[in-house]
Structure 1
């Protein structure tokens, strides 16, 4: 009976794990943090099966025809338009400061957390420990993010580490930044001495804009444009969204743009499975930048189309939009 009860008791995910001592040593050495406090944090983390279940069925496994419907809904578009209008001064100030169109900042927040309404309910520490120990395909990445989380200064987080909540992958705040992104791209825009991606809208908006800028966003540059292949179009193998051919080369291979484009603009070609069949798209540097947030071309296209819908709505008179 005692054995059965002990087997039912939740065991700390890091208990007796050989990597804990090394991780604590490294973090303590790099930051001067107390090893006992670090051990106590890790001992409090729990393996969550729901996290492993969630990462095994990402939305990006769906075809574009279904994936698009998750994010391009009237409710999400209308909420994005309302959010932009409510915070227009801040958004346009940050957009001008970083050279990023404000509607793309808003669209990131819309896709990631429905404009801050759903930032995730998993404990960040549980998520990173669970995936770092029990998800072999990306264990190295998540252990690295765990180490970064433990090394971040207290003033780079919305609160104590053991109170932070986020996505099943350990992303935090309205813009869903991983610890490494907080370290490298998050900014204290409101000047209060703390980076708070959960409660400070200036920090949230500026951090997304800075992320785009640091990854090579081109101010005023194109994102994506529809293409129409002819019957003899050259079959292309495209590994990612990196621009690699000028538009005129893709045209020569049989892909006609459905709008005017700079013939020399460096581009790639994406094929998405839409509701009416295959969709062909020229994609550009700014599309590639969005995939630095999430590598899926469908994600980048959802952000792009949501941004366009928000911009269109914002530019309408409010009486016409109602």
Structure 2
């Protein structure tokens, strides 16, 4: 999914295909099967060709021909190496700056306009998957500015470069490359044509190839799952939320009232924490509004300008974080969704 972060891409979207866990038979490639171009004589390429034959029925010559058309992009490796977040040594207003990139009048207005243009598809998705339309719109807004920036990198180049020239994540991107080739075969696409993020994310919702296979839907009824079609993208994002456990009718997050004596660092925070409300109350942390009977939450800490903000995240907040494993990302989606609904 995005890059959005890109963000997205983005890049935090780890959806690993299970098929790669099956052992490969060590069979020699036909003597006339060779890969030319940037990935000629590259370690792992012959094994990948074997994998595509054994697991997906690709002819070795077919896979070799596709890989021969891929270009190694050093710029992609450089961008990947710059993704590591910098650790903060104390409050610096990082959340306020992050939020300001996405919650702008322009983005909110464009979100309301996107909703208007795609009202029928959003209504159908909400009815079918029980995910509020505003959260689907917010995802597409943050990921690609409502389809305005879907990425210009050839997906074949991105995934091949990362599968064979980026050892730290080679196994993951090897899986994604395999899923991409299966996707293009099934959808009858030229593998050199799809473009997206430098990490291989595609379409309005920035799905990685493995997410395409798990969650993409044909929402237009034309027989294809087209990540670049707004209706199919809307259906896919809603299906992604449903598949990751969205709970219809439940809140996403609420502000927490925090006692003056509470000190940052006293409790672990993050979307993957779990606390009973009774436990948090002992530290002077209580919800600012009703949670509708929910008794277990995550404790979220946002480094806002002027001091930390504390929120309580519910199951649906965790579901949003599956799209991008970041508290700031998930909270941005939540707040942007609310702003777009209010503007509409």
Q: Find the residue that maps to 1:268 and give its secondary structure.
A: strand
Picking from 214, 220, 224, the partner of 1:190 is 220
Unaligned runs of 5+ in 1: 1-10, 315-322
* CA distance, structure 2, for counterparts of residue 113 and residue 181 of structure 1: 17
| TM-score of the aligned structures, taking structure 1 as reference length | 0.87
CA contact 2:125–2:235 (8 Å) conserved in 1: yes
- Label 1:13 to 1:144 Cα distance change in 2 as closer, same or farther (>3 A): farther
Aligned equivalent of 1:46: 71
For residues 223 and 13 of structure 1, do their structure 2 counterparts lie closer, same or farther at Cα, with a shift above 3 Å needed?
farther
Measure, in 1, the Cα distance between the counterparts of 2:341 and 2:294: 27
Give the structure 2 partner of residue 145 of structure 1.
176
Deviation per residue, 1:173-209 (Å, 9 max, x gap): 00000010001111112222111111x3221111100
Q: Does 1:24 align with 2:49?
A: yes
1:118 matched to 2:143? The reply is no
Aligned-residue offset at 1:49: 2.1
Greater CA drift, 188-197 or 56-65 = 56-65
User: Structure 2 matches for 1:168-183, cutoff 5 A?
Assistant: 168-183=198-213
Distance in 2 separating the partners of 1:236 and 1:207: 36
1:53-94 Cα offsets, whole Å, 9 max, x none, are 322334965932221121111111110011112222221121
SS at match of 1:273: strand
Check the 8 A contact 1:186/1:207 in 2, yes or no: yes
Q: Distance in 1 between the 2:54 and 2:183 partners?
A: 13
SS of 2:44 mapped into structure 1: helix
CA distance in 2, matches of 1:162, 1:212: 30
Q: Distance in 2 between matches of 1:108 and 1:60?
A: 21
| Counterpart in the other structure of 2:240 | 211
* Contact 1:94/1:205, CA 8 A, preserved across alignment: yes
Give the Å deviation of 1:152. 2.7
Which string of whole-angstrom CA distances, capped at 9 and with x for unpartnered residues, describes residues 233-288 of structure 1? 371123x5136223343223211222232454321011111122211110111111
* Mapped partners of 1:60, 1:216: distance in 2: 28
Q: Report the equivalent of 2:5.
A: none
Q: TM-score, normalised by structure 2?
A: 0.82
RMSD over aligned Cα atoms:
2.0
Change (3 A) 1:273 1:264: same
Does structure 1 residue 57 correspond to structure 2 residue 82? yes
Does 2:333 align with 1:303? yes
